Amino acid sequence: MTDGRSDVAVIGGGIMGLSIAYAVARQGKSVTLFEAETLTHEHGGSHGKARIIRLSYDDPFYVGLAQEAFEAWHALGSVARKDLYKVTGSLDIDLSGQRRFDGHRDALAECGVSSKLMSATEINDAYPELNLPDEATGLWQHRSAVLNADLCSAALADEARRYGAHLWTGCKVNRVIPDDRIRLDTTQGMHHADTVVIATGDQVARFASDLGTHLPLTKSLEEVSFYEPLEPEAHLADHMPLLIFHLGNGVLSSVFPIHRDAGVKIMVENNGRDTSPPERLTEHKVAEIAETILPVLPRLPRAPSGTNLCHYILTPNGDFILDRLPGHPQIIMCSACSGHGFKFAPVLGEMVAQLITSDFVQPSLFMISNHSTS
Ligand SMILES: Cc1cc2nc3c(=O)[nH]c(=O)nc-3n(C[C@H](O)[C@H](O)[C@H](O)COP(=O)(O)OP(=O)(O)OC[C@H]3O[C@@H](n4cnc5c(N)ncnc54)[C@H](O)[C@@H]3O)c2cc1C
C-alpha cells in the first residue's frame, strides 16, 4: 500500500478498533483500519474466548449502557449468524456480608432491571459447587452472559469488511501528522484520511502525547488462571452463573463457569497493586486465588492447569476515553479500558461513528477533560 486514502482511518485492530470500523463503514464512509500485528492478537487487551457482560453496576449510567450493549451484541449476532454470548446470570458476592449491594440494586431498579439479594444459605442451596460462609451476601441478576470474545471480534471484522472496510494487519502506524487531510506514516507507506480514530490500547497515551495531550493512562499486569475440576458438571455454564467477588478496596475477582475454555477461569484483579515481575506476579496471584476464592469453590483443584498474563489499561476513575483530541478535532481518541470495556465496544463504536457523521455529543464521563482533572 502506498499513498492510500480514506474518509476515516482507524488505528488498532482490538475490539474497539473493529467496532469503530464496523460502525463507521455502516454509515457509508470509506474506512481503513491499521493493525500492527494480527486482529485481537494475544499481546493486546481483546484476545481470548471469554469476557463478561453484565448489567450489574452501581451507576445507572453504566447499567443503561450495558443494556444497549446487550442489544448491540444481539443484533450483531443476528446479522453475522453467530452465537456471540451464553446467558448465565451472575452473582455479585461479598464474603464479609457487610455489603448489601444497595448501590447496585438502586441503579438496576432505576433502569427497570430486576435483581435479588440472596443469603449464603440460599446461594449454597441453589449452587452446590459453592460453599459460601454464613455471613456472605449475594446479588443475583439474570441478564449476564459470557461473551464469546473471539467470535465477537470475528463477527465485527466480517461485517466491517462486508460494508467495505479495509482491515490491514501487519501494518504499524508510526506517526499521525495533522494537516488539512491527516497523514498517517505507516510501515507500508503514507495514508491520508479526513478523520483518524486512535484505538491503540496501551499506545493511546503515546499517540496523544506525540500530539500534545497528556492522558493519565497506566498499564497493569494481570493474570488469569484456569482450574479443571474432576467432576465438571456443576461448573458448566448451563448450571453455574458468573461470579463477581467484591474483595474490598474496589478489588474484584471474576469467576467464569466452564463454557468454551477448558476449566473455570478465575481472575483477581491486580489494578496495579502488585508490580512484581511477571513470574512473581503469577505466583502471587495463584496464592491469592487459593486464599480468597478456592475455599468457596471446594470442588476445584488447588492448582491451576494453566495461567495467562495480560494487561489492563487503567484510567484513574475507571471511565473510558472517547473524545476529539484538543487542538485536533479530526483526531478521535478511544479507549475501552479499565478492565470492563469489552462489553461496551459496539456501543462505543457507534458513538464514534456518530461523532464523525453528526453533531452528537458523547457522554461527559468519556471526555478527555473528565480524565485530565482526575
Ligand atoms: C484479562 C482481561 C480480562 C478482561 N475482562 C473483561 C470482561 O470480562 N468484560 C469486559 O467488558 N472487559 C474486560 N476486559 C477489558 C477489555 O477486554 C479491554 O479493555 C478491551 O478489549 C481493550 O480493547 P482495545 O481495542 O481498546 O485495545 P486492544 O485490544 O489492546 O487493541 C489495541 C490494538 O492496537 C494495536 N496497535 C497499537 N499500536 C499500534 C500502531 N502504532 N499501529 C497499528 N496498530 C497498533 C495493538 O497491536 C492492538 O491490537 C478485560 C481485559 C483483560 C486484559
Contact at 8 Å (CB) between 292 and 270?
no
pLDDT at 343 over 90: yes
Q: Same domain for 355 and 271? A: no
Instruction: For residue 41, report the distance from its CA to the centre of ligand 1, in Å.
Output: 9
Alpha-carbon distance of 275 to 220, in angstroms, equals 8
Q: Kindly report the protein residue whose alpha carbon is nearest to atom 38 of ligand 1.
A: 200
CA distance 102 to 132: 20
CA of 338, closest atom in ligand 1: 19
Q: Calculate how far, in angstroms, residue 123's C-alpha sits from the geometric centre of ligand 1.
A: 34
For residue 66, tell me if it sits in a domain. Answer: no
**Do residue 181 and residue 306 come from a single domain?**
no
Mutate to test the pocket of ligand 1, among 203, 253, 311 (most ligand atoms within 8 A of CB): 203
Q: What is the mean pLDDT of residues 179-202?
A: 96
Task: For residue 336, give the ligand 1 atom closest to its CA.
Answer: 26
Question: Of 296, 314, 332, which residue constitutes the final position of a domain?
Answer: 314
Domain containing 235 — which CATH number? 3.30.9.10
Pocket of ligand 1, beta carbon within 6 A: 11-17, 34-37, 41, 44-46, 51-52, 172-173, 199-201, 203, 222, 224, 310-312, 335-337, 339-343
The pLDDT assigned to 2 comes to 53
Residue 112 Cα to ligand 1 midpoint, Å, equals 31
pLDDT of 285 strictly over 70: yes
| Centroid of ligand 1 to alpha carbon of 332 (angstroms) | 17
Judge if 248 and 362 occupy the same domain. no
Within this chain, do residues 203 and 234 fall inside the same structural domain, yes or no? no
- Tell me whether residue 85 is in a domain: no
pLDDT at 365: 96
What pLDDT, on a 0 to 100 scale, did the predictor assign at position 179?
83
pLDDT tens-digit map of 218-258? 999 999 999 999 999 999 999 999 999 999 988 999 999 99
The sign one gets for the Cα dihedral 271, 276, 282, 286 is negative
154 and 267 fall within a common domain: no
**Residue 125 shares a structural domain with residue 223:** yes
In tens, the pLDDT along 123-156 reads: 999 999 999 999 999 999 999 999 999 999 999 9
Any domain includes 171: yes
Q: Does 61 reside within a domain?
A: no
Same domain flag for 229 and 339? no
pLDDT tier at 1 (50, 70, 90 boundaries)?
A: low
Residue 374 pLDDT more than 60?
A: no
- Residue 361 forms part of a structural domain: yes
Supply the residue whose CA is at minimum distance from atom 10 of ligand 1: 340
What CATH number did the domain enclosing 41 receive?
3.50.50.60
pLDDT at position 371, please? 87
Mean pLDDT value across the chain:
96
Taking residue 20's Cβ as centre, other Cβ atoms within 10 Å add up to 34
Residues 37 and 124 in one domain: no
Query: Does the pLDDT value for residue 163 go beyond 80?
Result: yes
Average pLDDT over every residue of 51-76: 98
Regarding whether 170 and 111 lie in a shared domain, the answer is: no
Would you report the helix, strand and coil content of the chain in percent, each value rounded to 5?
A: 30, 30, 40
Mutate to test the pocket of ligand 1, among 1, 16, 270 (most ligand atoms within 8 A of CB): 16
**Which three cell numbers mark 350?**
457507534
Q: How does residue 180 score in pLDDT terms, banded at 50, 70 and 90?
A: confident
A 10 A CB-CB count for 286 gives 19
Question: Above pLDDT 90, what percent of the chain?
Answer: 95
Q: How far apart are CA 347 and CA 65, in angstroms?
A: 8
Task: Specify whether 263 is located in the same domain as 292.
Answer: yes
Number of domains in the chain: 2
Which of 35, 88, 175, 261 maximizes ligand 1 atoms within 8 Å of its Cβ, making it the mutation to test the pocket? 35
List the beta bridge partners of residue 264.
227
Identify the pLDDT of residue 101.
97
**Structural domain contains residue 133:** yes
pLDDT of residue 345 exceeding 50? yes
The pLDDT tens digits for 289-340 are 999 999 999 999 999 999 999 999 999 999 999 999 999 999 999 999 989 9
What CA–CA distance (Å, rounded) separates 61 from 106?
A: 12
* Owning domain of residue 110: 90-142+218-314
Same domain, 231 and 305: yes
Q: Tell the residue nearest (CA) to atom 16 of ligand 1.
A: 342
Distance 114 CA to ligand 1 centre (A): 31
Which pLDDT score is estimated for 64?
Answer: 98
Same domain, 244 and 294: yes
